[in-house]
Amino acid sequence: MVDTLPADVTGGDLAASLEAIGETTPLVQHLTNTVTMNDVANLTLHWDALPVMADSPGDAGEMAAGAAALLFNTGQVPEGKVEAMHEAGATAADREIPLVLDPVGVGATPTREAVAEALLEDLEFSIIKGNYGEISALAGVEAEVRGVESVGEYDEIEDAARSLADITGATVVASGVSDVIATGDEAIRVTAGHERLSEVVGTGCMLGATLATFRGALEDAATAAVHGTLAFGIAGERAAEMAHNGPESYRTNFHDAVAGLSPTVVADLELEDRIERVD
């Protein structure tokens, strides 16, 4: 059963989630791509969690036994890593450890689609996060994904996200100019972030890591999805307020902003206009 999406989030609510991460220091296991692995590991650490990148057969399943959450990122799909995902996923299922799927590039090639479909067939995911194109492709809706980027118009992304959530039982996060979060019954839009996030390779992967981190510390998948997405976007805004000369210095600022986004900092934020329910 998927929990109700929280739409009336206060600074105090977000602070409580950040405190939960700091108090539990969840071990988050990432089976991800090598392009963004370092950023993903560092960002997880900056959220006050523990990253581990065990992604080979044998080791992946063994490490999963002690994880608080697992993230599967299909940015690269070599046979050994796919095998390790299924192995680690089986361990997680046995121990009721939440799984987060980031279906990077789904919709671009039949191989990636087959990998994602096999994972969804064999495993139950708590959260599925992708861009508009990836979520639409997984939902069986016409989508255009070039490489790992979503292109085109997605006027019915809320319906696609709800459909995928209904099919999988997961909370679905569709990231874009505004982020759509859906269960099978409802959807909300989260307005947070900055355009400079789109100029840095790997911010989508880092959002996936953020959601896995929040899910590792929180019992409620819907709350983890909403609070994680909101915190990520706020950090993106705060990074833009720091002095920077271009995308690379903004990337550094973003890591610093996440590290500095403490419960005390967010407790007094006014978030009433950040979340909108979608009919």
Q: What is the pLDDT of residue 112?
A: 86
Structure confidence at residue 3 as a pLDDT band (50, 70, 90): low
pLDDT for 151 beyond 60: no
Average pLDDT over residues 259-265: 97
Judge whether 233 is annotated as a binding position: no
State the pLDDT at residue 4: 85
Question: Is 202 annotated as ligand-binding?
Answer: yes
* Stronger pLDDT, 93 or 178, i.e. the higher one: 93
Mean pLDDT lowest among 45-54, 77-86, 104-113: 104-113
- On whether 17 is known to bind a ligand per the annotation, the reply is no
Q: Can you tell me the distance from the alpha carbon of 167 to that of 128, in angstroms, rounded to the nearest whole number?
A: 12
pLDDT at 208: 97
User: Above pLDDT 90, what percent of the chain?
Assistant: 82
Average pLDDT taken over every residue of the chain: 92
Nearest to 10 by CA among 191, 278, 268: 268
Strand pairing report for 50-52 and 27-31: parallel
pLDDT of residue 142: 64
Position 2 pLDDT exceeds 90 = no
pLDDT 10s digits, 19-28: 999 999 999 9
pLDDT tens per residue across span 174-229: 998 889 999 999 999 999 999 999 999 999 999 999 999 999 999 999 999 999 99
Per residue in 24-76, pLDDT (tens digit) is 999 999 999 999 999 999 999 999 999 999 999 999 999 999 999 999 999 88
Q: What CATH class is the domain 11-278?
A: alpha beta
What does the alpha-carbon distance between residue 232 and residue 26 come to, in Å, rounded to a whole number?
18
d(CA 163, CA 167): 6
Decide if pLDDT at 148 tops 50.
no
What pLDDT is attached to residue 149?
46
pLDDT of 276 > 50? The answer is yes
81 assigned binding-site residue: no
